[in-house]
């Protein structure tokens, strides 16, 4: 009889226990305290002032990059062609984006809403304070940036996917509203939506050599060199302000960021192994060596964490084949069945954005005489990590980077106060 | 009936085929042309001149690091303590290493062999040319460094693990010889060994913005900043020498390195996604987005590639559980069985160092409307990669790094000429 439940795994030491969820219901572990925030709006939502934050298109990016080198538009075309890229393709995507932004802006203005259009580089807390609501006009990356500066759980953030053909837009409104934005506005006005509060992660940092000033990675131009250089500059600034040596021990400070997707901890250089110690839910400390650590929210369980943990059909096929061989049982190995098992496995990695749990995953754990890994992944309420790294970082939503070197201790947790208010429109 | 074969998977498009090997025999795919090099020595091997290349211990490393800051030994002790490290522990490991190096050197000199002890920073092609054989005195990292400068297939390289308690030493002689090196020397003299030729990878680079001068990552002090800065300097040097702009198209050049473990291709910044195009065995080009690409040898199939592809018991348990649920069959789920399946799966990832095949693996492939991944991993004779990256590198054995930015094309292949000559002592 086909199984109706989706199982999620929690490893406890060498024993394996599981939490079972009914297929089809929101993936809430049984023991989560229920959310106290009402999801039904009392009235419709009609903001007076809306900030529209726009992404930088690849075309604009390449233009800026080569303008500094004094190249003409024609030079740019040839250069891109030589690299195998298409100038006209980039321009087309740029025009699609700007036209979709115009559509959103006009739709808002038609309703008598005051609109401020802000490029991502100009977006700051002043804009957040001014606006009653903020619209992200771009893809998921832009949405993460917009959310990163909203620390209050009262300010609604709405994402519009301005290039549905190229962008996944998991965090954005369904793509049908991109060219029919008045429909979305209408539903907001009439209360035909529900609020969705997405849980986020908060970070405390303490120990030696820490610097609570993050580096903004959103400026994609940053090479490795600039990344570390900038880390060093913010560290020196911090030292000047506080009068402390980089090596002094600092007490725990709550960082001024909240993570909507995930925190990644590891060496900045992708080819270098990361060394650290980890304690889950105040459990025993474990020394680990790996390619880094990801700690995600329910929202983020569809993002990087998903890619770290998902399995390819190739791997599932091999496991079932070995299982079949070892047991002699008639385990099917046709493509359809393999796809089914693979999909069910991968789906079990995703959980609700409203779930107040962290999900940690160790990338490529190295297990030998010195380093252990009792659990490669699992749920937690709190994760503590002590860096034993040389030149590592703590990256928030792929956008802000904190130095996290030898001796620094991070405490990763969640609080209802940090939730992000988003909307889910009725169908 | 328990299965006696170990299956290895090769994916061909959407179909899955497999190559079967007998358990216990060397893992050679049936179609590999047999190695023409004799493994039996005609006589014993007694070199006249041996270079002993030593690793830098963590203790030496920390000393150098803080000596520049003008700290005393006492300061160093306190600083390490504050970070949770142990000064006496580091000193102990340092003494164990130096004592083991002395033992090897004395054993060689007792046999009338001329010995040159060389720190890793001083090791160069002159040393390689001078020596009849080279001994690596350290761990696997030191062995990789030693091998990296040996381009001839005639010069024997032998690894001695100078800290067996802390170092895995996969590439070194069995640990029993560390304090009984005369035994190893005796076997070499009497011909009680066989030659093992380990296949290595060669690299061709062409396209725009390439620089065939590698950056040496072995100097662990390198932070990200220094890494990119150094890349830039070697690029400028190269431009001065060749009189070319960084953006000009260069023809294919064979790089002066050979990889013993693997090539890693991806963005230098660990938190940034890598974009590239890949063609396997002259097949169709595929656009991919992932956390990078690993291409390894048989030797390297136990190293980083193994960690990328191995599965945790947690994951295997989950798959079998879903399979059981879906089929209703009596698939065992006890720990012993799960361990068995997991071990068999993970063992199938390892293949012979003598196998003239590459094994490629895509880390965390991102599959969506734009990016595909027909095979997450597989064997090949040749892999071509075109960079679409912003600030990426091609890292050889975690030790040398080549710039690999937008427009550059790498061709990765193998040749018998590149084999590394090592020894396997008789029991």
Q: Which of B83, B164, B328, B395 to mutate to test the interface with A (most CBs of A within 10 A)?
A: B83
Q: Which residue of B has its CA nearest to A312?
A: B376
Distance CA A99, CA A300 (A): 29
**pTM given for the model:** 0.83
Question: Residues A237-275: pLDDT tens digits?
Answer: 555 555 444 456 677 889 988 999 999 999 988 888 899
Who wins on pLDDT, B239 or B273?
A: B273
Q: Strand A133-138 vs strand A157-161: parallel, antiparallel, or unpaired?
A: parallel
| CA B314 to each of CA A13, B98, B344: distance values in angstroms, whole numbers, following the listed order | 11, 41, 15
Query: B225 and A220: CB-CB below 8 Å?
Result: no
User: What's the rounded mean pLDDT across residues B389-415?
Assistant: 91
Place of tokens 């020894």: B423
**CB-closest option in B271, B313, B376 to A314:** B376
Cβ of B325 and A407 within 8 Å? Answer: no
Mean pLDDT of A196-209: 91
Query: Which pLDDT does position B266 carry in this prediction?
Result: 93
Task: Please state the length of chain A.
Answer: 427
Q: Are A220 and B390 within 8 A, CB to CB?
A: yes
Q: What is the pLDDT of residues B118-139, one digit of tens each?
A: 998 899 999 999 999 999 999 9
Residue in B with minimal Cα distance to A316: B319
Residue B221 burial (CB count, 10 A): 11
For residues B184 and B177, the answer to whether their CB atoms sit within 8 Å is yes
Report CA Rg, chain A: 23
pLDDT averaged over chain B?
84
Report the mean per-residue pLDDT for chain A.
84
* Residues of B in Cβ contact (< 8 Å) with A232: 225
Could you give the maximum distance between any two Cα atoms of chain B, in Å? 71
> What sections of B220-296 are H helices per DSSP?
224-242
- In chain B, residues with a C-beta closer than 8 Å to the C-beta of A225 are 224-229, 231-232
Which of A243 and A408 is assigned the larger pLDDT? Answer: A408
pLDDT higher than 90, residue A423: yes
- Tell me what pLDDT residue B246 has: 47
Q: Tell me, what's the pLDDT at A360?
A: 97
Q: Contact at 8 Å (CB) between B197 and B420?
A: yes
Cβ atoms within 10 Å of B235's Cβ, excluding its own: 17
pLDDT at A341 exceeding the cut of 90: yes
Q: Is the CB of residue A235 less than 8 Å from the CB of residue A403? A: yes
In chain B, helix, strand, coil percent, each to 5? 30, 30, 40
> What pLDDT score was predicted for residue B292?
95
Does A11 have pLDDT greater than 50?
no
Residue B21's pLDDT is 29
Q: Which of B225, B233, B248 is the mutation pick for testing A, counting most A CBs within 10 A?
A: B225
Highest average pLDDT, of A105-109, A167-171, B74-78, comes from: A105-109
Q: Which residues in chain B have their CB less than 8 angstroms from residue A220's CB?
A: 390
Cβ–Cβ of B307/A365 closer than 8 Å?
A: yes
**Closest-CA residue of chain B to A365:** B307
Please judge whether B319 and A225 are an interchain contact, meaning their C-beta atoms are less than 8 angstroms apart: no
Closest CA to B244 of B204, B276, B212: B212
Contacts of A217 in chain B (CB under 8 A): 271-272
Chain B nearest-CA distance from A208, in A, is 7
Show residues of chain A in contact with B9, CB under 8 Å.
Answer: 314, 317-318
- Contact at CB, A344 and B330, closer than 8 angstroms: no
CB-nearest partner of A270 from B229, B269, B323: B269
Mean pLDDT over B344-368 rounds to: 95
Contacts of B307 in chain A (CB under 8 A): 290-291, 364-366
Q: What's chain B's length in residues?
A: 427
CB within 8 Å: A1 and B328: yes
How far does the CA of residue A327 sit from the closest CA of chain B (Å)? 7
Chain B residue with the nearest C-alpha to that of A304 = B364
Residue B244 pLDDT greater than 70, yes or no: no
Task: Provide the pLDDT for residue A234.
Answer: 56
- Check pLDDT > 90 for residue A88: no
Confidence of residue B38 (pLDDT cuts 50, 70, 90): low
Residue B32 is predicted with a pLDDT of 35
pLDDT band at A406 (very low <50, low <70, confident <90, very high): confident
Please give the pLDDT value at position B15: 32
Least CB–CB distance from A366: residue in B307, B328, B401: B307
Query: Would the pLDDT of B319 be above 60?
Result: yes
Rounded mean pLDDT of A227-239?
59
Residue among B311, B375, B406 whose CB faces A83 most closely: B406
Mean pLDDT of A89-112: 95
pLDDT at B248 > cutoff 80: no
Model confidence pLDDT, tens digit, residues B138-181: 999 999 999 999 999 999 999 999 999 888 889 999 999 999 99
CA-nearest of A269, A242, A271, A197 to A422 is A197
Nearest CA in chain B to A233: B225
pLDDT grade for B285, boundaries at 50, 70 and 90: very high
Q: Rounded to the nearest 10 degrees, how much is the dihedral formed by the CA atoms of B251, B252, B256, B259?
A: 150
Cβ-based contacts of A226 with chain B (< 8 Å):
225, 228
pLDDT at A15: 32
The residue ranking higher by pLDDT, A318 or A69, is A318
Best probe of the B interface among A224, A273, A300, A405, by most B CBs < 10 A, is: A224
Instruction: For residue B323, give the chain A residue with the closest CA.
Output: A341
Residue A48 Cα, gap to closest chain B Cα (Å): 37
| Contact yes or no for B368 and A292 at CB 8 A | no
Residues of B in contact with A266 (CB under 8 A): 270
Do A247 and B79 make contact, defined as CB atoms within 8 angstroms?
A: yes
**Most confident range, picked from B16-20, B23-27, B265-269:** B265-269
A28 pLDDT band, cuts 50/70/90, is very low
Q: What's the pLDDT band for B20 if we cut at 50, 70, 90? A: very low
The residue-averaged pLDDT of B100-126 equals 96
Asked which of B103-117, B178-192, B227-241, B265-279 is least confident by mean pLDDT, the reply is B227-241
Whose tokens are 């939730």? That residue is A419
Do the bridges between strand B114-119 and strand B49-54 make them parallel or antiparallel, or are there none, so unpaired? parallel
Pairing between β-strand B133-138 and β-strand B157-161 as defined by DSSP bridges:
parallel
* pLDDT given at position A269: 83
A113 pLDDT exceeds 80? yes
Provide, rounded to the nearest whole percent, the portion of chain B with pLDDT above 70.
Answer: 81
**Do residue A345 and residue B7 have CB atoms under 8 angstroms apart?**
no
Q: Which residue has the higher pLDDT, B93 or B270?
A: B93
Say if residue B188's pLDDT is above 80: yes
pLDDT of residue B30: 33
pLDDT at site A346: 97
How far apart CA A322 and CA A328 sit, in angstroms, is 10
């Amino acid at each position: 009889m086909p199984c109706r439940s989706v199982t999620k795994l929690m490893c406890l030491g060498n024993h394996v226990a599981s939490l079972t969820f009914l297929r089809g219901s929101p993936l809430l572990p049984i023991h989560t305290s229920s959310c106290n925030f009402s999801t039904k709006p009392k009235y419709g939502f009609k903001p007076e002032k809306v900030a529209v934050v726009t992404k930088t298109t690849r075309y604009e990016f390449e233009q800026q990059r080569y303008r500094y080198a004094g190249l003409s538009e024609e030079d740019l075309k040839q250069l891109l062609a030589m690299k195998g890229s298409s100038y006209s393709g980039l321009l087309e995507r740029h025009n699609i984006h700007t036209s979709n932004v115009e559509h959103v802006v006009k739709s808002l203005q038609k309703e008598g809403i005051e609109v401020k259009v802000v490029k991502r580089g100009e977006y700051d807390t002043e804009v957040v304070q001014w606006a009653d609501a903020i619209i992200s006009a771009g893809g998921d990356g832009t949405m993460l940036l917009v959310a990163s500066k909203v620390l209050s759980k009262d300010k609604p953030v709405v994402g519009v996917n301005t290039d549905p053909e190229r962008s996944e837009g998991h965090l954005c409104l369904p793509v049908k509203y991109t060219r029919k934005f008045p429909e979305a506005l209408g539903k907001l006005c009439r209360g035909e939506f529900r609020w969705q509060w997405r849980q986020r992660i908060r970070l405390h940092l303490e120990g030696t050599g820490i610097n609570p000033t993050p580096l903004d990675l959103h400026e994609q131009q940053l090479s490795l060199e600039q990344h570390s250089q900038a880390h060093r500059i913010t560290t020196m600034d911090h030292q000047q302000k506080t009068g402390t040596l980089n090596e002094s021990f600092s007490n725990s400070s709550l960082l001024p960021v909240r993570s909507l997707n995930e925190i990644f901890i590891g060496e900045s250089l992708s080819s270098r192994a990361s060394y650290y110690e980890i304690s889950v839910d105040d459990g025993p400390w474990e020394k680990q060596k790996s390619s880094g650590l990801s700690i995600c929210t329910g929202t983020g369980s569809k993002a990087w964490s998903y890619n770290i943990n998902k399995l390819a059909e190739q791997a599932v096929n091999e496991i079932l084949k070995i299982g079949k061989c070892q047991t002699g049982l008639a385990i099917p190995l046709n493509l359809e069945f393999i796809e089914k098992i693979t999909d069910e496995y991968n789906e079990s990695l995703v959980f609700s954005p409203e779930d107040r749990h962290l999900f940690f995953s160790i990338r490529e754990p190295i297990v030998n005489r010195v380093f252990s890994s009792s659990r490669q992944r699992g749920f937690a309420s709190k994760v503590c990590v002590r860096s034993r790294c040389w030149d590592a970082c703590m990256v928030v939503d792929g956008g802000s980077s904190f130095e996290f070197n030898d001796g620094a201790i991070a405490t990763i947790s969640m609080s209802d106060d940090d939730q992000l208010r988003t909307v889910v429109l009725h169908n």
